[in-house]
Amino acid sequence: MTTTVLLATHNRKKLDELRRILRPLVPDVKVLGLDDVPPYAEPAETEPTFEGNARLKAQAAVRHTNLPSLADDSGLCVDAMNGMPGVLSARWAGRQPGRPREYELLLDQLADVPDERRGAAFVASVVLVLPDGTEHVAEGRLTGRIAREPRGQGGFGYDPVFIPDGESRTLAEMTPEEKDAISHRGRALRRIAPILAKAAAERARG
């Protein structure tokens, strides 16, 4: 019996990523995005932590849909910038048309930073909230460094300028499957997948 879970995002690339990761782990789960359910007032991401923002989004999704709901908040924490842009990663360059891409602004900020100080980490917190109010949290991290110029056509966000530890390629130069295997979000989702599978089985029985 198929169980439906909602991923609280409009980002189709994140949705595709979640489906790829969960398919072999939780095959009986159907994943919907926010564009697949009636619209509701989504909460502003006002928390100072990734986990806090993910929890806001997951709780709102459950309240309005009564579906088991997943939400993630993730971002890039750069050593030479004291952990910035962090929770502001997606909004760092602003929303106005014509503004630079986030990674272009980042490269400008790091232009004079030597290679040995260009360390960074992608961090993701995933929160699963069930209709009965039960919550589960998982975190994933991917450490690496910031390239000096963008490379690759895949991925999204900061992927073209992030080189994982032990790699010579950016995330944007990898196949989706290669990225999923090591990504911060992939690691967090694989930790939450067994919990989601158990919840799906219990829901199917009940």
Question: What are 98-130's pLDDT values in tens digits?
Answer: 455 889 999 999 999 999 999 999 999 999 999
Phi and psi of 164, rounded to 5°? -65, 155
What is the signed CA dihedral for 151, 153, 167, 17, rounded to 10 degrees? 150
Per the annotation, does 99 bind a ligand? Answer: no
Q: List the one residue out of 147, 187, 190, 150 whose CA is nearest residue 167.
A: 147
Q: Is 137 helix (H, G, I), strand (E, B) or coil?
A: strand
- Is residue 7 a contact partner of residue 70, using CB atoms and an 8 Å limit? yes
Q: Confirm if 200 and 139 have CB atoms less than 8 A apart.
A: no
| CATH class as words, domain 3-205 | alpha beta
Predicted model pTM:
0.88
Strand partners, 119: 145
Catalytic residue among 16, 73, 115, 180: 73
Closest CA to 35 of 65, 12, 4: 12
- Mark whether 73 is an active-site residue: yes
What is the Cα–Cα distance from 82 to 66, expressed in whole angstroms? Answer: 39
Nearest to 69 by CA among 107, 29, 97, 99: 29
Q: CA 63, 65, 66, 70: dihedral to nearest 10 degrees?
A: -80
pLDDT tens for residues 136-195? 999 999 999 999 999 999 888 899 999 999 999 999 999 988 998 999 998 998 899 888
11 is in an annotated binding site: yes
The arithmetic mean of pLDDT across residues 38-62, rounded, is: 95
33 is in an annotated binding site: no
Domain boundaries, the chain: 3-205
Cα(147)–Cα(125) distance, rounded to whole angstroms? 24
